[in-house]
Amino acid sequence: VKKEMTEKNKKKVLTSTKINCSRCGKDYYVSFVADGHRNYFCEDCLKIMHHNRKKGVVKKIFDSQKKTTFFEFVCDVCDNFRKAIYDPQKINGQIYCKECLNQKKADDRKKTRKNTVIIKKSEKD
C-alpha cells in the first residue's frame, strides 16, 4: 500500500505544472503542460471571466424540444446567471432579474415614501 501511494504521488508531480495566473497572479497547478506561449488563468479567474463575458447580454434561446423560448442572462444586481422564460427588464442599461426588479420596486416605493410629504394614495400594480 505504501509503495502504491508513493507511485501515485510521483505521477501527480510529473503531470502537474505550476502556472502563474495572468489575472490574479496566484500560483496554480494544472494537469497539462504549459507551453509558456499563452496566458494562463486559475480556475477561479476562468469562472469569473466566463461569467463576465455573459454580462450585459440577454441571449434568447429557442428550445426546439419544448417549443419554448427562454432567456439567458446575468443579472447586474445579484450577479447571478439566470435562465428564465421572461425577457429581463433593463433599467439604465442594467439587467434586472425578476427578483431584483421586485426588490428595486419595493425599494423605490420606500424611497418615495421617505422623500415625499405623506400623500395617501392606493398603490395597485
Nearer to Zn ion, 45 or 84 (CB): 45
Q: Which alpha helices (H) appear in 17-123, and where do they start and end? A: 43-54, 98-115
Rounded to a whole number of angstroms, the minimum distance from the CB of residue 114 to Zn ion is 24
φ/ψ (deg, to 5) at 68: -130, 155
Residues that bind Zn ion (CB under 5 A): 21, 23-24, 26, 42, 45, 75, 77-78, 97, 100
HSE, CB side, 13 Å, CA atoms: give it for residue 102: 3
Rounded least distance, CB 99 to Zn ion, Å:
5
E strand spans, 12-116: 17-20, 27-30, 59-63, 68-74, 81-84, 89-91, 94-96
State the nearest-atom distance from the C-beta of 24 to Zn ion, in Å. 3
- Residue 87 CB, nearest approach to Zn ion (Å): 14
Please tell me the distance from the alpha carbon of residue 82 to that of residue 72, in angstroms, as a whole number: 6
